[in-house]
Amino acid sequence: MSRWNIASIFFLGVSGQRREVSLAPGAVNIITGASGTGKSTLIKAIDYCLGSSNCELPAHVRRRSVAVGVKWVSGDAEMIIGRVVPPVGQATSTRMFAASGRDLPLPAAVEEFDGTTTLEAAKAFMERVFGIGDVPEDAEPGATRRGRATVRYVTPYLFVTKEVIDSETVLLHGLDKAEKARDIVATMPYFLRATDETTAMDEQRLRQLQRALDREEIKARSRAASETALKQRAISLLSEAHRIGIVGIDDGRQHQA
């Protein structure tokens, strides 16, 4: 399975211009610059387009931009995710755009975005494209809850914040929070493309069939044990009946005396 890579991050300005940062998919891309030149802004733009609840873009970027977008590629397949940038003072915007296909052009204005949608619908769209999907939980009653992979927990694998870099105990952003750790770990195979929704569903079905087989084998062993005990009891009763003369044995056949 080929992995999805970011091909470009772009901003649509209030004056109609587009600023774009192009990356080389499948290669190591290094972005350098002095402090305050916008390196962290690129990370926040990716996070915002992946459906974060708040817009963390700097105020000076929000004043000059009306929308931000990310173009993803995987082989010939492409996906463009865009999101309207809220004005300074407004926490976020739920107006998003999601489109997939081939040879997708970057929009030059908000009106040129395809696939107008909502925040939740956009996250579901990305999960389907990424192959994450919403695999239903199949834990046995009383068993520990398995983590649920979502597009929101891809971000710890995309970038590491300076707080995590400075930490001696936290490997990825969010792993120190118990309510998030299981979901972050569950997302790892999808991010590494070691699995996808179809494979996960097959594995889940296999686990269900294995549990059903285990239950049937336990029932079969129980029935066999019961039948063995019943036979042993029957032989014991017949032997006792023969001993006291209630039944006799003739040519291997028992008969009532």
Q: List Cα–Cα distances, 159 to 39, 42, 80, in angstroms.
A: 12, 10, 20
- pLDDT above 90 for 36: no
Q: Which of 50-59, 73-82, 123-132, 203-212 has the lowest mean pLDDT?
A: 203-212
CATH top-level class of 1-130: alpha beta
Give the per-residue pLDDT at 220: 85
Tell which residue, 51, 45, 26, has the closest CA to residue 117. Answer: 51
Q: Is 10 helix (H, G, I), strand (E, B) or coil?
A: strand
Mean pLDDT, range 14-33, rounded to an integer = 91
Mean pLDDT, range 50-69, rounded to an integer = 94
Domain ranges of the chain: 1-130, 212-256
DSSP string covering 9-72 = EEEEETTS-EEEEE--TTS-------TTSSHHHHHHHHHHHTT-SS----HHHHHHEEEEEEEE
Band (pLDDT 50/70/90 cuts) for residue 197 is low
- pLDDT above 90 for 100: yes
- pLDDT above 80 for 33: yes
**Which of the pair, 244 or 21, is modelled with greater confidence?**
21
- Phi/psi of residue 11, nearest 5 degrees: -125, 135
Mean pLDDT, range 93-105, rounded to an integer = 95
The DSSP bridge pattern shows strands 96-101 and 116-117 to be antiparallel
- Which residues neighbour 54 within 8 Å (Cβ) at sequence distance 6 or greater? 91, 92
Band (pLDDT 50/70/90 cuts) for residue 69 is very high
Provide the sign of the torsion angle of the four alpha carbons 37, 43, 46, 49, taken in this order. Answer: negative
Give the per-residue pLDDT at 257: 46
- pLDDT above 90 for 250: no
Q: Which of 65-74, 155-164, 188-197, 215-224 has the lowest mean pLDDT?
A: 188-197
Mean pLDDT, range 57-72, rounded to an integer = 95
For 146-159, how does the pLDDT look when each residue is reduced to its tens digit (9 = 90+)? Answer: 677 788 877 887 77
Q: Which of 52-66, 78-92, 179-193 has the lowest mean pLDDT?
A: 179-193
pTM: 0.68
Helices (H) and strands (E) in the chain, counts: 7, 8
- pLDDT above 50 for 216: yes
